[in-house]
Amino acid sequence: RVHLLFLDEPSNHLDLETLDALSAALNAYEGAVVVVSHNQGFLTGFCNELWVVEGGVVNVQPSDTSSFDELFNQFRSKSVSG
């Protein structure tokens, strides 16, 4: 039985229906899931916490929507200005 899933950008090239199905399946999964994704809507559908890795440091944030919004806005600002 699998206890841990590692997914790298699993939302790429998926239509909305398939994305919703994947999110529901991951939400029901009883093991641990590590997902690398830039898709905020997808992540907020099932994540319990968000781990931001930057500059060799891991910053763990709670899953509430305002934390996700703030972190993604910071990421977008750095990407545009950087």
Q: What is the pLDDT of residue 65?
A: 63
Whether the full predicted model's pTM is greater than 0.85, yes or no, is no
Q: Is the pLDDT of residue 28 over 80?
A: yes
Q: Is the pLDDT of residue 6 over 80?
A: yes
Helix (H, G, I), strand (E, B) or coil at 53: strand
Length of the chain: 82
52, 71 in Cβ contact below 8 A? yes
| 42-72 per-position pLDDT tens digit | 888 888 888 888 889 998 887 766 777 887 7
